[in-house]
Each structure stands twice: as C-alpha cells, then as structure tokens.
C-alpha cells in the first residue's frame, strides 16, 4: 500500500463480533479495516457492503483473502476490489487472484454494476475450493476460475485470512492515477454487515485443519448451477469491461488457464480494439500491485 499516505488501522475480529454492522472510514491520516482471527483453507466468505457516495476517485474498498503476512514472497490472494470514481461516474468492481506469489501475471477482470453500490447494501461473496473459485454479487455468479494442471501453484492453495479495507489507491485506481483522492470529501465511509465465514479454519502453527463437519446451509453455494450459469453469462455479456485473458497488449498468448469465449472476445474487442484487438498504440505501464506489503436494469 505504498501509494497511500494514510496509516491503515487493522482490527482483528472474532466471528461473533463480525456478524454485526461495522463502519470503516478513510481520511487524510487514517485508513481502516479488519482481518479475521482465523486462517481458512477453503470455504464460503460473504459480506453485505455499502460503499461511499459522491466523489470517490482514488478510493479503494477491498474484500479479500490473503496470507501475505505469512508468506511474503509466495503469497496467495483472492480479491474483490471496488474502485471509486469522479462525480457522475459509477463505481467499478474488480476481481483478481494470485497463487504462490504469481503477482507478475495479473488475473484481473473488471465490471460495471446494474445498481449504485453506494445507495444500499449488496452482497459480495467468494466460494473457494480446491478446484475452483467463484465470485458472486447478490448471489449471482459473475466469475468462475477453475483450477487446471497448467496453473500449477498459481492457484491459491495455502490457508488465508479474510480482510476488508478502505484505503487510498490514488496512484493507480482511477484512470491509471489520473484522478486522485480529494480529501475535501473525507471521511469516506464504507459499511459492512452480515458477514459469513463458512470455512475450514486452520491452526496457524501446525497448519492442521479444524473443519466443522456439520451439514452446509442451503444458503451456501457449492458451485454454479445451470440456471445460475445462464445468469452469469448474462452478467458478463452486459457488464464485463476487462478480462486479462483477452488483453493482447499484456499477453501475446493468453495464460494457459484461459478459456476463450468468442462472444466475449468480440464484445471486448468492440469495446476497446487496442487492448483486445491487437491494435497499435503507445500504452503506459499497467500498474501491478499486491497488498502483501501493505446504469441499466439487468434481468438475470
């Protein structure tokens, strides 16, 4: 988090404490957030989040899993990142994964939303198993990452803690750093409620799983059903604005785990022919970073 002048205050919460509504803020001196008391190896992790309103350029709200404090050089990470914007422009949402310190291979996808996330609470969820990662918004799957043999250790596979933060990402978050946080609008306030940590906790010393063998709740998804897959495809067709798999500026050959969808390729190419169509134009260096050291209605 070297981009921010703000000191980040992290609070360790127990599960019972995290069930209540919590408020975190960013101002010129302080960012804030929480981290779970336990480490988890796989599970379902969810929160209802309400984002700051008005001018939010440069502001980053993150809901993610990481073990960067334990594995500094080969950490894993699964991210929801909410990227603020100038007045009149919508929040963007970004998902990303790292495995075994694979930060040089950005696996970002970015989307717009069919609602204003600053007006009310909406649910954002991560399902992480040994073979797949699924991101959900209001119980609608928006991205599925399947583990492949070619990914090797790039698939997150070590125990991680759950984090949430609000911080200053002025150096990269809005138009590559063109628009920075304006503290005239501070404090920037984000609210979390209805947190769910349904996972296999792990002893941090012995790395031994302490799994709850009780039956899973029907509210906890185990994958993407055919009906939900239709909703996922509808969301991606309408709201996905960036996927690393189609970025021909960064990757002349898509990373090995990518499954190219011709419809997605054609839509993104029409959206940005330079990035997704192989056109020629000078681009500044795309920002890669890790936290290890630091609209229309939709019928889906």
Length of the chain: 300
- Cα–chain center distance at 77: 9
Q: Which of 91, 187, 183, 80 is nearest to 133 (CA)?
A: 80
| 182: number of Cβ within 10 Å | 17
What whole-number distance in Å separates Cα of residue 189 and Cα of residue 53?
8
What whole-number distance in Å separates Cα of residue 243 and Cα of residue 109?
4
Exactly one of 77, 109, 257, 264 is catalytic; name it.
77
> Which residues, including other chains, have CB under 8 Å from residue 206's CB and lie 6 or more apart?
none
Looking up tokens 């209540």 gives 20
Query: Is the distance from CB of 66 to CB of 75 less than 8 angstroms?
Result: yes
Exactly one of 17, 81, 109, 296 is catalytic; name it.
81
> Which residues, including other chains, have CB under 8 Å from residue 19's CB and lie 6 or more apart?
194, 195
Q: Is 17 a catalytic residue?
A: no
Query: Is the distance from CB of 84 to CB of 57 less than 8 angstroms?
Result: yes
Query: Is the distance from CB of 80 to CB of 231 less than 8 angstroms?
Result: no
Query: Sign of torsion, CA 167 173 178 179?
Result: negative
What whole-number distance in Å separates Cα of residue 125 and Cα of residue 140?
9
Q: Is 77 a catalytic residue?
A: yes
Q: Collapsing DSSP states into helix, strand and coil, what is residue 56? A: coil
Question: How is residue 35 written in tokens?
Answer: 């981290």
Question: How is residue 191 written in tokens?
Answer: 């609210």
Q: Could you give the residue numbers annotated as active site?
A: 77, 81
């Amino acid at each position: 988090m070297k981009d921010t002048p703000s000191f980040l205050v992290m609070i360790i919460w127990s599960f019972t404490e995290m069930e209540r509504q919590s408020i975190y803020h960013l101002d010129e001196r302080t960012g804030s957030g929480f981290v779970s008391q336990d480490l988890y190896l796989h599970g379902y992790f969810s929160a209802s989040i309400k984002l700051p309103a008005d001018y939010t350029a440069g502001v980053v709200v993150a809901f993610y899993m990481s073990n960067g404090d334990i594995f500094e050089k080969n950490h894993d990470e699964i991210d929801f990142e909410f990227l603020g914007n100038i007045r009149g422009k919508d929040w963007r949402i970004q998902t990303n994964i790292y495995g075994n310190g694979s930060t040089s291979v950005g696996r970002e996808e970015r989307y717009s939303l069919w609602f204003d996330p600053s007006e009310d609470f909406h649910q954002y969820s991560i399902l992480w198993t040994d073979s797949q990662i699924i991101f959900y918004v209001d119980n609608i799957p928006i991205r599925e990452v399947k583990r492949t043999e070619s990914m090797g250790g790039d698939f997150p596979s070590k125990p991680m803690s759950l984090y949430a933060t609000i911080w200053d990402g002025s150096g990269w978050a809005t138009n590559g750093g063109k628009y920075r946080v304006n503290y005239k609008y501070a404090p920037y306030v984000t609210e979390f409620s209805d947190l769910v940590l349904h996972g296999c906790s792990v002893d941090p010393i012995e790395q031994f799983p302490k799994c709850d063998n009780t039956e899973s709740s029907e509210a906890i998804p185990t994958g993407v059903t055919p009906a939900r897959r239709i909703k996922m495809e509808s969301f991606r067709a309408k709201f996905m604005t960036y996927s690393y798999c189609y970025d021909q500026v960064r990757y002349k050959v898509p990373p090995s785990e990518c499954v190219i969808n011709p419809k997605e390729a054609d839509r993104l190419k029409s959206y940005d022919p330079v990035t997704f169509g192989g056109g020629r134009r000078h681009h500044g260096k795309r920002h890669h970073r890790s936290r290890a050291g630091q609209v229309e209605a939709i019928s889906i």
